[in-house]
């Protein structure tokens, strides 16, 4: 029996995880659930899964949840605040932590899980991207087990049987091919990017996801973050990782070997498949995802990414080569730019410009502690906010 903490249980990945858990009740018990502020959904999840702990970042929302649970006669203990997230990630009774908070907000709890030797299912790519060396060292030192549930990385993991403790070169790997759907603007002419609205950007053609990752997919920063994620997860040098556009999102990624073999993992685009793979690993369990009907899919197509229209992918790959401080600044500037775009304060085409400005303004510096990560992140956020303020769009028309 695995005992789970699910960080970000009310989000897209969190809800899919609970769906897989509910299909396999003999294997999993939920010890703790956590979210930012959605006490209504967290209450429903508590009624269904009866965790020992429920954490909400926001105190007022935690108070509302506590009252509802008491009224319902449930004994779940409600905690609030960022430290409580770390606490439930490191509880001795917990075997498995699903890291599905969005953004660098998930770093400390994910690291707490890594330091306490848990089996970690990682969706929260920003945590790994911003602290790769620290995170991987914590996993190694504690004997934690890190399993990717980002669909591309899960696919690569599945295509790399027996990789553990060996380098990619030892395994005869020549290239890692990350597939990308290309997002909703794959065929949109560059001249129309400035007019893209938040509603258009979050309408992904193949996946239903949280708002931030949906915008990241539309700018292709998501793929840039995933290149960096693959670098850390598989100790892959940047030149070994390539991105290929595959609009159907059926081939989730591929590994090419030195003998010319290419091994891919396929499936319908449904996050429950990689989640179930990692939850059950090394066994296979039911996920609830539909089985792939290749005749119905018909065609699978592939093309090269267009770095002119999607500069975020290039900026992310440049940052990876520039080093850890550039990557932390990249992530921070992206989080700020996406939030400002969703709030309609900057345009879609401003996102890459703003990120590149912040990355280039960040001095190269060594990163050897969590404090270093958080200091560089804070500074880059300030720079990004200042750059946003400079190009802010008028909010609403006043007067006539």
Binding residues vs ligand NAD (CB under 6 A): 8-14, 34-36, 38, 57, 85, 100-102, 105, 123-126, 150, 207, 209-210, 213, 271
The minimum distance between CB 208 and ligand NAD, in angstroms, equals 7
Instruction: Evaluate whether 148 touches 122 at the Cβ level (below 8 Å).
Output: yes
For residue 244, give the 3-state DSSP assignment.
strand
d(CA 178, CA 251): 9
Report, in Å, the least distance between residue 121 CB and ligand NAD.
10
Question: In whole angstroms, what is the distance from residue 128 CA to residue 101 CA?
Answer: 12
CB of 115 to ligand NAD, least distance (A): 18
Residue 210 binding target from Mg ion, ligand NAD, none, CB below 5 to 8 Å by type:
ligand NAD
Q: How many Cα atoms are found within 13 Å in the side-chain-facing hemisphere of 389?
A: 6
Please, which residue, 26 or 59, has the CB nearer to ligand NAD? 59
Q: From the CB of 215, what's the least distance to ligand NAD, in Å? A: 11
- Count interface residues toward Mg ion (CB under 5 A): 3
Output DSSP code: residue 370: H
Our CB check for ligand NAD shows the closer of 27 and 36 to be 36
Within positions 133 to 192, which residues make up the interface with Mg ion, using CB under 5 A? 150-152
Q: Is 351 exposed, middle or buried (0-12, 13-18, 19+ CB in 10 A)?
A: buried
Q: Which is nearer to ligand NAD, 123 or 279 (CB)?
A: 123
Query: CB neighbours of 318 closer than 8 A, spacing ≥ 6?
Result: 326, 359
Which CB, 51 or 247, lies closer to Mg ion? 247
Residue number with the smallest Cβ distance to ligand NAD: 11
**Residue 127 φ/ψ, nearest 5 degrees:** -65, -45
Q: Would you list the DSSP string of 180-243?
A: E---TTTT--GGGGGG--HHHHT--SS----HHHHHHHHHTHHHHHHHHHHHHHTT--GGGEEE
Nearer to ligand NAD, 8 or 267 (CB): 8
Please report how close the Cβ of residue 396 comes to ligand NAD at its closest, in angstroms. Answer: 26
**377 is an interface residue for Mg ion by CB under 5 A:** no
Q: Output 47 or 258, the one with its CB closest to ligand NAD.
A: 47
Q: Which does 12 bind (CB under 5 to 8 A by kind): ligand NAD, Mg ion, none?
A: ligand NAD
Q: Which does 14 bind (CB under 5 to 8 A by kind): Mg ion, ligand NAD, none?
A: ligand NAD
Smallest gap from Cβ 269 to ligand NAD, in A, equals 9
Q: Are 257 and 132 in contact (CB under 8 A)?
A: no
Residue closer to ligand NAD by CB (options 105, 354) is 105
CA–CA distance, 351 with 252 (Å, rounded to integer): 26
Q: Which helix (H) or strand (E) holds 336?
A: helix 324-342
Give the residues lining the site for Mg ion (CB under 5 A). Answer: 150-152
């Amino acid at each position: 029996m695995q005992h789970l903490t699910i960080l970000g249980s009310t989000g897209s990945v969190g809800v899919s995880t609970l769906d897989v858990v509910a299909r396999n009740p003999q294997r999993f018990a939920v010890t703790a659930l956590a979210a930012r502020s959605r006490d209504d959904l967290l209450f429903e999840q508590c009624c269904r899964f009866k965790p020992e702990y429920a954490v909400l970042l926001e105190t007022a929302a935690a108070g509302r949840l506590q009252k509802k649970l008491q009224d319902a006669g449930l004994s779940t203990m409600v905690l609030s605040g960022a430290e409580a997230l770390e606490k439930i990630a490191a509880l001795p009774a917990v075997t498995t932590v699903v890291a599905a908070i969005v953004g660098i907000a998930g770093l400390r709890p994910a690291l707490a899980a890594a330091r306490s030797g848990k089996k970690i299912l990682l969706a929260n790519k920003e945590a790994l991207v911003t602290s790769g060396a620290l995170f991987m060292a914590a996993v190694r030192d504690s004997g934690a087990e890190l399993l990717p549930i980002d669909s591309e990385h899960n696919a690569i993991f599945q295509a790399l049987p027996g990789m553990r403790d060996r380098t990619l070169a030892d395994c005869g790997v020549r290239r890692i091919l990350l597939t990308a759907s290309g997002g909703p603007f794959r065929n949109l002419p560059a001249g129309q990017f400035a007019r893209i609205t938040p509603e258009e950007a979050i309408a992904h053609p193949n996946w239903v996801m949280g708002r931030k990752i949906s915008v990241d997919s539309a700018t292709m920063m998501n793929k840039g973050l995933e290149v960096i994620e693959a670098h850390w997860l598989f100790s892959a040098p940047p030149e070994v990782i390539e991105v290929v556009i595959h609009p159907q999102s059926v081939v989730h990624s591929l590994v090419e070997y030195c003998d010319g073999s290419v091994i891919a993992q396929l499936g319908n685009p449904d996050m429950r498949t990689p989640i179930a793979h990692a939850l059950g690993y090394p066994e296979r369990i039911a996920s609830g995802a539909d089985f792939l009907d290749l005749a119905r899919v018909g065609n699978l197509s592939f093309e090269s990414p267009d770095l002119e229209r999607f500069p975020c992918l290039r900026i992310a790959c440049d940052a990876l080569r520039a080093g850890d401080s550039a990557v932390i600044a990249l992530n921070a500037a992206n989080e700020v730019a996406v939030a400002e775009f969703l709030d309609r304060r900057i345009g879609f085409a401003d996102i890459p410009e703003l990120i590149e400005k912040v990355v280039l303004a960040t001095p190269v510096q060594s990163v050897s502690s969590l404090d270093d990560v958080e200091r560089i992140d804070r500074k880059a956020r300030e720079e990004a906010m200042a750059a946003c303020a400079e190009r802010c769009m008028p909010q609403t028309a006043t007067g006539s």
